[in-house]
Amino acid sequence: MQICIPHRLHQKVMHLIRRDPRNEITGFGNIEIDSEGLTVQSVFLMPQTVSGGAADIEAVDVARAMRIAAQSGKPGTMRWWWHSHAKMDVFWSNTDRETITELAKAGWFAASVFNVQGEVLSGFWQGTPVPIVLSDIPTVIGKPAVARKTLDEWNAEFDENVTKSPVRWDKEHWWDRPEIDTEANEVQRLLVRDAFNRGEIG
Ligand SMILES: [Zn+2]
């Protein structure tokens, strides 16, 4: 399990954190699950009052963030909470743990805490059906953000436009036979060529 933050979105988080480096700031983001783990799809803020020691969120903030996420049209679901510790170390405070436990009550939630120096700590919390707390999962920054929805669009464009040419069974194109997958399959390639030359296949 790891959390991937695409380069551009990491830049956005760091910019927001460093814009007022003395104060903490908190926000949310959409997450998609793929074979490599969790990938952040969006980063956004909601209205908040900040101080040097806290950037608390209330249930009403979460509801507001969910509305923002739903209206954004970004893929994934709003299951990432991020916040800054300003210039302090990155760790889960008691308040942080309580917040994430609350957020993950009905399922799962990922969280990352950053600081102005650029350090980050990420975790994964699941409330049900089995309680899981992974309080230190790797954060990978810079993975290209290709959402499943985007991949579907790319695949649809491919399928619409690309047709495989029919196989030609003449002497010049014997290697187009479907059983020859790659040139690396040298033995099979030669066997088929010999069979062709003997007239056993055509
Ligand atoms: Zn914190």
pLDDT per residue as tens digits for the range 3-28: 999 999 999 999 999 999 999 999 99
For the chain, the distance separating the N- and C-terminal CA atoms, rounded to the nearest angstrom, is 52
149, two tokens = 């929805």
Residue 133 Cα, ligand 1 centroid: separation in angstroms? 16
> Among candidates 132, 122, 152, which has minimal Cα distance to 38?
122
60, two tokens = 């009403």
pLDDT per residue as tens digits for the range 35-90: 778 999 999 998 888 777 766 677 777 788 888 878 877 777 899 999 999 999 99
Q: Give residue 33's identity as a one-letter amino acid code.
A: I
63, 92 Cβ separation under 8 angstroms: no
Residue 27 Cα, ligand 1 centroid: separation in angstroms? 12
Residue 143 Cα, ligand 1 centroid: separation in angstroms? 25
Residue 76 Cα, ligand 1 centroid: separation in angstroms? 24
Contacts of 32 (CB under 8 A, 6+ apart): 38, 39, 41, 75, 76, 147, 148
pTM comes to 0.69
What are the domain boundaries of the chain?
A: 3-141, 166-202
Residue 56 Cα, ligand 1 centroid: separation in angstroms? 9
Spatial distance between the Cα atoms of 97 and 91, rounded to a whole number of angstroms: 10
Residue 86 Cα, ligand 1 centroid: separation in angstroms? 9
Who has greater pLDDT, 142 or 182?
A: 142
Residue 6 Cα, ligand 1 centroid: separation in angstroms? 22
3-141 CATH choice from 3.40.140.10, 3.40.30.10, 3.40.50.300, 3.30.450.20: 3.40.140.10
pLDDT per residue as tens digits for the range 153-201: 889 998 999 887 765 555 555 555 555 555 556 676 677 777 777 777 6
Spatial distance between the Cα atoms of 202 and 198, rounded to a whole number of angstroms: 10
What local confidence, expressed as pLDDT, does residue 3 receive? 95
